[in-house]
Amino acid sequence: MPTYRRNFTPGGAVFLTLVMFKRQPIFAEPNNVQLLRKAVSTMKAEMPFEFTAAVILPDHIHSGEAWPSTLPSPVGVFKLSAVCERGILWNGLGMPV
């Protein structure tokens, strides 16, 4: 596994590419895109952050985000991912195994 250098500066802006498990095209389904939008809104209410832009493709997402200085961006990304995943699974739109 390669060794990556990551900048964990609190309050920093990040550009992320998030790939879905086994590259499953879960965002080909419009309802799942809506659940992602809802997850972003839920997270913004919990911990304000700047969601600059996003490109949603069927099996991955590109996004630009800036997290508050009190929260390192990886923590926010993990929370956002968890909220979105729970929404998809709880709404019966689960990912195929």
72 and 8 in contact (C-beta within 8 Å)?
A: yes
pLDDT for 6 equals: 63
Task: Delimit the domains of the chain by residue range.
Answer: 13-90
The topology (CATH level 3) of 13-90 is Alpha-Beta Plaits (3.30.70)
For 3-54, what is each residue's pLDDT tens digit?
766 666 666 777 888 888 788 888 898 988 888 888 888 878 877 778 888 8
For 72-90, what is each residue's pLDDT tens digit?
556 667 777 776 666 666 5
Rounded CA gap, 8 and 91, in Å? 33
pTM of structure: 0.68
- Predicted confidence (pLDDT) at residue 56 exceeds the cutoff of 90: yes
